[in-house]
Amino acid sequence: MAEFTLDLNDDQKQIRDWLHGFAKDVMRPAAAEWDEREETPWPIIQEAAKVGIYSLDFYAQQFFDPTGLGIPMAMEELFWGDAGIALSIVGTGLAAVGVLANGTEEQIGTWIPQMYGDADDVKVAAFCSSEPDAGSDVASLRTRAVYDEAKDEWVLNGTKTWATNGGIANVHVVVAVVDPELGSKGHASFIVPPNTPGLSQGQKFKKHGIRASHTAEVVLEDVRVPGSCLLGGKEKLDERLARAREKARKDGERVKNAAMATFEASRPAVGAMAVGTARAAYEVALDYARTRVQFGRPIIDNQGVAFQLADMRTRIDAARLLVWRASWMATTGKPFTSAEGSMSKLYASEVAKQVTAQAIQILGGNGFTREYPVERMHRDAAIYTIFEGTSEIQRLVIARTLSGMPIR
User: Is the dihedral angle over the CA atoms 389, 395, 397, 398 positive or is it negative?
Assistant: positive
**What crossing angle do the helices spanning 83-102 and 70-81 adopt, rounded to 10°?**
150
CB neighbour class for 196 (10 Å; exposed up to 12, middle 13-18, buried from 19): middle
CB neighbour class for 312 (10 Å; exposed up to 12, middle 13-18, buried from 19): buried
Q: Are 130 and 146 in contact (CB under 8 A)?
A: no
Task: Give me the catalytic one of 131, 153, 388, 392.
Answer: 388
From residue 368, give the alpha-carbon distance in Å to each of 276, 294, 330, 362, 372: 21, 18, 39, 10, 8
- Per DSSP, the three-state class of 159 is strand
Enumerate residues 6+ apart whose C-beta is below 8 A from 268.
71, 72, 323, 326, 327, 330, 341, 344, 345
DSSP string, 168-195: T-SEEEEEEES-GGGGGGGEEEEEE-TT
Residue 388 designated active-site: yes
Spatial distance between the Cα atoms of 369 and 210, rounded to a whole number of angstroms: 17
CB neighbour class for 104 (10 Å; exposed up to 12, middle 13-18, buried from 19): middle
Stated as kind and residue range, the H or E segment containing 298 is strand 297-298
The set of catalytic residues is: 388
